[in-house]
Structure 1
Amino acid sequence: MTTTVPVDQEPRAHQGLPVPKRPAPAARTVAVWVVMLGLLAASIWSFIDLDISFATIASGLDNAGDFLSRMLPLDFPPLGELVSLTLQTLAIVTIATALSVALSLPIAIFAASATTPNRWLGGASRTLIVVLRAIPDLVLAIIFFRMFGLGALPGILAMGLHSIGMVGKLYADAIEELDRGPVEALRAAGASRWQQILSGVIPPLLPQIIATALHRFDINLRTSVLLGYVGVGGLGMALADALNTMNYQRGMALAFVVLVLCIIVELISGSIRTALLGRANGRRRGLLGLLDRLSDGWVTKPDATHAPQRTKNGAIRTSPQWDGDRIRRFLGLSAAAVIVAAALVGAEIDAAAFVVGIVDLPQTVALFFPPSSGGLWEELLAGMIVTVQIGLASTLIGVIIAIPIGSLAARNVAPNAAVATAFRVLIVVVRAFPELILAIIFIVMMGLGPVPGALALGIGSIGLLGKLVADSLEETDVRVQDAVRANGATRLQIYGAATLRQVLPAFVAHIMYQLDVNIRAATLLGIVGAGGIGFYLLQASRVLQFDVVTFIILMILAVVLTLEAISAWVRRAVI
């Protein structure tokens, strides 16, 4: 039986008509893929040049038994000392995070196009955010230790100011995404600019403010361990002292405490962030969702009709009533104020040292200028190249491992819910490990050098990149996947043809962000012997060569800002 195809449905070539050509890719798309292929080639070169191989890793694993024998049994400090160190660390991190929020909010208001008075102030605020993000907190800590001496204050200022780079950017972006309706209504009613901001911007922004602060608290907790190597008190300093004296039983015991603390904080803050930002059918989930249900019947719910609310006497209410949301906000803000006040007392900040440091600021600044290589230009350049190689190689390791793990953690990709949950838990556990602790473990097992640093950052990348991959996959349009499935495609074919194609631009953006994070982190791991420019930075600060410190800071800034510009351009091009 012969099937006849209508002429209008025959291929155009069979009809003697010209076949339309596939449109050529845009020049920007070509440029993006050239950059990505160049970074891939550089990452492979870094991987080979650093001698990261199965043989190198296997030789380190052979030393695992010796490391365990030197580490076990764990030697925990006395309970009183351990509690004191933990509380001191939490106090420092709490104040640093509160400081970053207090400073980031006005900076974000000036940086956001929707609230800035003029574009010049907006540009200056955005520049300040980028610069503070580019300067590593370790560098700021070294500068502040010179100004204010030992104690909690340098660490608080270093983490607080560096955090503005992330917190301020997220706040500014959130402000620009807010509904402009309330602000326009206030402006029409004659409200001043600050009245519009206080009443029309801050209230709807509050969940984002709290969620971002909690996320930054997680990051600062990990950073406090690193800053312990330059004198910031708490668990980080005790850990550094133990490892510097090769007391691995005490050092690993303190590392275990830090790990448990990071996991607890991650779970608590993650639950609160989900409750604040994740809503299902108008009902909050998590702890605040439980409070919603408990408040049913004993607090008054808002009127969905937006009719004027009246008091018992019939008068129109001019202030918000004490409903469930207002009670929770009041209790939450009161608890936060009490925690910050307690942290200020527990951190034991030396106010006199702060005043003296401010007074001596001109003399301190003079020590750092003019910058000088100190006759170490070739060594510093080689160290900077190694730092970039560590960042590239670790990102390659992270991408290779994180994409399959993140894919299996996505509910719409995993074979079943149990698999997705298991890989989500794995991601949370990996994220809880500070890269510094991983680097220390690998250094003890494999010796000094860039390989332990690359492996530590590569494994650390699994936590962040795996989560970003899983979240992006779950946000894809499932209708496209269902259409491919209906045509008989296998699970792997659906993933490649429907799911992966949708998230490929987001994957590129996530990889660039992870590369940015890894190169910044690689500049710091040198202080524990993981190679790169961090080693020279620490040595210059220890021998009081502050002009060399400034020179190294400028080198780091040049590399980080260049990468920041490339990363931002790629993300804009693909999303």
Structure 2
Amino acid sequence: MSSRTQTGDLKVRTASVGAAPGPRTGAAARALPHLTLLALAVTACWAVVDLRINIATLVDGAHNAVDFTGRMLPLDFPPLAELVRLAGESLSIAVCATLMSLVLSVPVSMLAARNITSNAYARGGARGVIVLARAIPDVIMAIAAVRVFGLGATAGVVAMGLHSVGMVGKLYADSLEEVDEGPRRALRAAGASRPQELVAAVLPQVLPAFIATALHRLDINLRGSVLLGFVGVGGIGFEIAQSFQRLDYRRGMALAVVVLALCLAMELLSGTVRHAILRGAVQEGKARRNRLTSRLPGRGRGRDLGRGTAVNGTGAPAVRTSVRPGGSPTWPLARVRRWTYAVVTVVVLWACVRGAELSATQLAAGLADLPSVLGQYLPPTAPGGLEGLFDALWVTVKTALAGTVLGMVLAVPVGVLAARNTSPSPRVSRVFRTLTVAVRGIPEVVLAIVLVVVTGLGPVAGALALAVGSLGLLGKLVADSLEELDPGPARSLVATGASRGQVFFAAVLPQALPALAGHTLYQLDVNIRAATLLGVVGAGGIGFELLNAARVLEFGLVTTIVLMLLTVTLITEAFAMWIRRVLA
């Protein structure tokens, strides 16, 4: 046999080994994500034990809880005029921050969407901006914004507005990438320009998702405005911080009850507004597309210029309009309703801008001082060494792990009882759905403040606050996931005489496990950021070090802590993306 033949055989064997891994290699690759999740779950359970979160801890804190209740009651509400002013200022900050994030997120999301922007470098840059905005907590941005713009609402609006781009921009980009390309291709074939394609074919499809995301972010920013009060942003959060610093628990908890009422009202109102505004949005988009194509050149007889477009005998789209018997067109009730909503929205936005007391002069002065202020944060420093910072960071990670696993333990039964297809009755489902809404309305910072008083300073209060907060979101996500499952396997088992428990563990739970894993990882990502923020109010960890560094004007140390948090956040997000991809 020639050497050439031997070399060829070796190449074939090498290629075969590389292309088709053996059974052991394939099994190991498939088992790796499951083993990784198991290791993460074991670590989270160890974190609960290491932080000494147990029945004895809760029993020891029961006496403090009774004492705190006595010092809290009766609640001391401020005068009605003062209460309205504080609530209005917090709402104005949240609305203005959300509006700022929407204005910034639309162009960023269009640059990040693969089907809108063909340049890979532009897409990568836009995605990088989105990840960076999401990774830096808003309280860190608020500390820097207070240095730039001073105490007050302006710093809060800028901080929450920039931070919100991380979530809003990502969801907007995902919505843009999921649009149906058929209407765009039809308009392009009819001679439409690129802006016309975006306005008439893309915008109507993504408008429902855009509005829903904006309302959801407004709800989040209202909760976030409470925490920013602890670093100098105005509104009701600032008054809560001042009350607790004076140990005035009656006034502080009264204001916390007001915040809870505002959050619940905002969630209910956003759901109602979302349902009212989004009703008929797709039909309006079709009508707009029809009107545009009727004015474009290149129409041919019988050509369908857009999905759902009727074509008449002359080749022009047949656009339906409401006409009076006398022949003059009228406005349908749906259009009048939408214009009414638009006018009300503009008025509310104008009132919120006035209520937040945003000043163009203050913004311009702050931007002029921005280079000098940012120079104070460079270079990163660690006067006490990095060892203590890493220890504090590990405490924050343990707090997030413990809060996530405890929240999941609470959320699974609540989600099962809240889902219509697994709940014993519709009434039980409604009760537990209401419970998840009520829990989501309680800001974690308020929970943390109460639990710090009950259990003392440290990560135990933070972990318990995160667990309760996780119950609201994870309970809802678990219920939604269960309701979206394929009912076929469960019906098959019911037909064979299986009990409710057998149906759940044999047919429902195996289908739901991938979604549960994804939801838990998302909650862990959220809780790592939240654990940092709760350190500001006494829950320990790296957040406590961050607040102390800002108070003593150690801005280089603040930068070091931010970089550490950014690294952990990016690692967590990359890990979650990998797990979701391999389990999909």
Whether these two folds match at TM > 0.5 is yes
The separation in 2 between residues aligned to 1:27 and 1:110, in whole angstroms, is: 39
Distance change in 2, residues 1:52/1:189 (3 Å): same
2:374 aligned partner: 365
Contact residue 211 and residue 272 of structure 1 kept, 8 A: no
How far does residue 274 in structure 1 lie from its aligned partner after superposition? 4.6
How far does residue 331 in structure 1 lie from its aligned partner after superposition? 2.1
Residue 547 of structure 1 pairs with residue 548 of structure 2: no
Cα RMSD of the aligned pairs, angstroms, is: 2.2
Q: Sequence identity, in percent?
A: 51
Distance change in 2, residues 1:27/1:330 (3 Å): farther
1:223 aligned partner: 224
1:396 aligned partner: 405
2:358 aligned partner: 349
Contact residue 134 and residue 561 of structure 1 kept, 8 A: yes
The separation in 2 between residues aligned to 1:263 and 1:392, in whole angstroms, is: 27
How far does residue 195 in structure 1 lie from its aligned partner after superposition? 2.1
The separation in 2 between residues aligned to 1:421 and 1:112, in whole angstroms, is: 38
Residue 477 of structure 1 pairs with residue 486 of structure 2: yes
Residue 179 of structure 1 pairs with residue 188 of structure 2: no
Q: Which amino acid aligns with 2:432?
A: F
Q: Give the alignment's TM-score, normalised by structure 2.
A: 0.87
The separation in 2 between residues aligned to 1:220 and 1:197, in whole angstroms, is: 29
Q: Which amino acid aligns with 2:335?
A: R
How far does residue 324 in structure 1 lie from its aligned partner after superposition? 3.8
2:506 aligned partner: 497
Contact residue 174 and residue 208 of structure 1 kept, 8 A: yes
Residue 374 of structure 1 pairs with residue 376 of structure 2: no
The separation in 1 between residues aligned to 2:37 and 2:276, in whole angstroms, is: 37
Give the 3-state SS of the residue equivalent to 2:424 in structure 1.
Answer: coil
How far does residue 403 in structure 1 lie from its aligned partner after superposition? 0.6
Distance change in 2, residues 1:310/1:483 (3 Å): closer
How far does residue 358 in structure 1 lie from its aligned partner after superposition? 1.2
2:267 aligned partner: 266
The separation in 2 between residues aligned to 1:24 and 1:471, in whole angstroms, is: 36
The separation in 1 between residues aligned to 2:322 and 2:431, in whole angstroms, is: 53
Give the 3-state SS of the residue equivalent to 2:225 in structure 1.
Answer: helix
Contact residue 508 and residue 574 of structure 1 kept, 8 A: no
Contact residue 211 and residue 276 of structure 1 kept, 8 A: no
How far does residue 309 in structure 1 lie from its aligned partner after superposition? 3.0
Contact residue 208 and residue 277 of structure 1 kept, 8 A: no
The separation in 2 between residues aligned to 1:523 and 1:198, in whole angstroms, is: 41
Q: Tell me the alpha carbon deviations over residues 386-417 of structure 1, each in whole angstroms, 9 at most, x when there is no partner.
A: 00000000001011110111011000001111
Residue 124 of structure 1 pairs with residue 154 of structure 2: no
Map 1:22-37 → 2, pairs under 5 A: 27-37=28-38
The separation in 1 between residues aligned to 2:124 and 2:330, in whole angstroms, is: 40
How far does residue 201 in structure 1 lie from its aligned partner after superposition? 1.1
Greater shift after overlay, 43-52 or 401-410? 43-52
How far does residue 312 in structure 1 lie from its aligned partner after superposition? 9.1
Contact residue 151 and residue 349 of structure 1 kept, 8 A: no
Q: 1:309 aligns with which of 319, 329, 348?
A: 319
Q: Which amino acid aligns with 1:167?
A: V
How far does residue 500 in structure 1 lie from its aligned partner after superposition? 1.1
The separation in 1 between residues aligned to 2:279 and 2:473, in whole angstroms, is: 19
Contact residue 137 and residue 159 of structure 1 kept, 8 A: yes
Greater shift after overlay, 25-34 or 69-78? 25-34
Contact residue 73 and residue 250 of structure 2 kept, 8 A: yes
Residue 332 of structure 1 pairs with residue 333 of structure 2: no
How far does residue 240 in structure 1 lie from its aligned partner after superposition? 0.4
The separation in 1 between residues aligned to 2:344 and 2:464, in whole angstroms, is: 40
Q: Which amino acid aligns with 2:234?
A: G
The separation in 1 between residues aligned to 2:480 and 2:370, in whole angstroms, is: 46
The separation in 1 between residues aligned to 2:453 and 2:359, in whole angstroms, is: 36
How far does residue 374 in structure 1 lie from its aligned partner after superposition? 1.7
2:455 aligned partner: 446
2:433 aligned partner: 424
Greater shift after overlay, 350-359 or 432-441? 350-359
The separation in 1 between residues aligned to 2:320 and 2:508, in whole angstroms, is: 52
Contact residue 450 and residue 530 of structure 1 kept, 8 A: yes
Q: Tell me the alpha carbon deviations over residues 513-556 of structure 1, each in whole angstroms, 9 at most, x when there is no partner.
A: 01101111001101110011011111111111110100000000
Distance change in 2, residues 1:311/1:335 (3 Å): closer
How far does residue 125 in structure 1 lie from its aligned partner after superposition? 0.9
Q: Tell me the alpha carbon deviations over residues 281-309 of structure 1, each in whole angstroms, 9 at most, x when there is no partner.
A: x9xxxxxxxxxxxxxxxxxxxx9957613
Q: Tell me the alpha carbon deviations over residues 72-126 of structure 1, each in whole angstroms, 9 at most, x when there is no partner.
A: 1101011110000000111110000111111111111111111114121111111
Greater shift after overlay, 527-536 or 112-121? 112-121
The separation in 1 between residues aligned to 2:98 and 2:27, in whole angstroms, is: 43
Q: Which amino acid aligns with 1:392?
A: L
Map 1:201-212 → 2, pairs under 5 A: 201-212=202-213
Q: 2:579 aligns with which of 556, 561, 570?
A: 570
Residue 535 of structure 1 pairs with residue 536 of structure 2: no
Residue 516 of structure 1 pairs with residue 525 of structure 2: yes
Give the 3-state SS of the residue equivalent to 2:434 in structure 1.
Answer: helix
Greater shift after overlay, 263-272 or 168-177? 263-272
Map 1:12-91 → 2, pairs under 5 A: 27-91=28-92
Structure 1 stretches of 5 or more lacking a match? 1-21, 283-302
Q: Tell me the alpha carbon deviations over residues 355-398 of structure 1, each in whole angstroms, 9 at most, x when there is no partner.
A: 12111222111100000012242221111000000000000101
Contact residue 392 and residue 541 of structure 2 kept, 8 A: yes
Give the 3-state SS of the residue equivalent to 1:411 in structure 2.
Answer: coil
Residue 110 of structure 1 pairs with residue 111 of structure 2: yes
How far does residue 352 in structure 1 lie from its aligned partner after superposition? 2.1
Give the 3-state SS of the residue equivalent to 1:368 in structure 2.
Answer: coil
How far does residue 321 in structure 1 lie from its aligned partner after superposition? 7.5
Q: Which amino acid aligns with 1:54?
A: I
Structure 2 stretches of 5 or more lacking a match? 1-22, 284-307, 313-317
Contact residue 322 and residue 330 of structure 2 kept, 8 A: no
The separation in 1 between residues aligned to 2:132 and 2:403, in whole angstroms, is: 24
The separation in 2 between residues aligned to 1:278 and 1:421, in whole angstroms, is: 24
Contact residue 310 and residue 319 of structure 2 kept, 8 A: no
Q: Which amino acid aligns with 1:168?
A: G
The separation in 1 between residues aligned to 2:40 and 2:322, in whole angstroms, is: 68
Contact residue 407 and residue 467 of structure 2 kept, 8 A: yes
Q: Tell me the alpha carbon deviations over residues 488-521 of structure 1, each in whole angstroms, 9 at most, x when there is no partner.
A: 1100111111111111111110010011011110
Contact residue 322 and residue 331 of structure 2 kept, 8 A: no
Residue 256 of structure 1 pairs with residue 257 of structure 2: yes
Distance change in 2, residues 1:310/1:536 (3 Å): closer
How far does residue 192 in structure 1 lie from its aligned partner after superposition? 2.4
The separation in 1 between residues aligned to 2:63 and 2:97, in whole angstroms, is: 41
Q: Which amino acid aligns with 1:237?
A: F
The separation in 2 between residues aligned to 1:149 and 1:386, in whole angstroms, is: 31
Distance change in 2, residues 1:420/1:276 (3 Å): farther
How far does residue 568 in structure 1 lie from its aligned partner after superposition? 1.1
Distance change in 2, residues 1:26/1:222 (3 Å): farther
Distance change in 2, residues 1:528/1:469 (3 Å): same
Give the 3-state SS of the residue equivalent to 1:178 in structure 2.
Answer: coil
The separation in 2 between residues aligned to 1:118 and 1:336, in whole angstroms, is: 36
Map 1:402-413 → 2, pairs under 5 A: 402-413=411-422
Q: Which amino acid aligns with 1:247?
A: D
Give the 3-state SS of the residue equivalent to 2:376 in structure 1.
Answer: helix
How far does residue 142 in structure 1 lie from its aligned partner after superposition? 0.7
Distance change in 2, residues 1:571/1:530 (3 Å): same
Q: Which amino acid aligns with 1:250?
A: R
Greater shift after overlay, 46-55 or 218-227? 46-55
Q: Which amino acid aligns with 1:120?
A: Y
How far does residue 28 in structure 1 lie from its aligned partner after superposition? 4.5
The separation in 2 between residues aligned to 1:112 and 1:188, in whole angstroms, is: 22
2:12 aligned partner: none
The separation in 2 between residues aligned to 1:445 and 1:176, in whole angstroms, is: 48
Greater shift after overlay, 186-195 or 487-496? 186-195
Contact residue 28 and residue 573 of structure 1 kept, 8 A: no
Q: Which amino acid aligns with 2:201?
A: G
The separation in 1 between residues aligned to 2:473 and 2:28, in whole angstroms, is: 31
1:12 aligned partner: none
The separation in 1 between residues aligned to 2:407 and 2:379, in whole angstroms, is: 39
Q: 1:465 aligns with which of 448, 465, 474?
A: 474
Q: Give the alignment's TM-score, normalised by structure 1.
A: 0.88
Greater shift after overlay, 219-228 or 326-335? 326-335
The separation in 2 between residues aligned to 1:483 and 1:274, in whole angstroms, is: 35
